[in-house]
Amino acid sequence: MEEVREAGAYTFEDLRGQVAAQLQEQRQYARILEELRAKTHIEIRN
């Protein structure tokens, strides 16, 4: 644990690292899904 703070409002600077990490994770998931979609072939027969 780095530091303990009382509850309250946070500034963007306080959360910048967490926001950046979440955005990077979302981009990685989107990239993986796009690769899987490109490799997948679905044929529907009636």
Asked, for residue 26, whether it belongs to a domain, the answer is yes
Q: Give the HSE-up count for residue 42: Cα atoms under 13 Å, Cβ half-sphere.
A: 4
Q: Which domain holds residue 25?
A: 12-39
**Phi, psi (degrees; rounded to nearest 5) at 2:** -85, -45
Residue 37: its pLDDT value, please? 93
Asked, for residue 6, whether it belongs to a domain, the answer is no
Asked, for residue 30, whether it belongs to a domain, the answer is yes
Residue 7: its pLDDT value, please? 79
pTM: 0.62
Asked, for residue 21, whether it belongs to a domain, the answer is yes
Low-confidence stretches of the chain (pLDDT < 50) are none
Asked, for residue 2, whether it belongs to a domain, the answer is no
Residue 1: its pLDDT value, please? 65
Total tally of structural domains belonging to the chain = 1
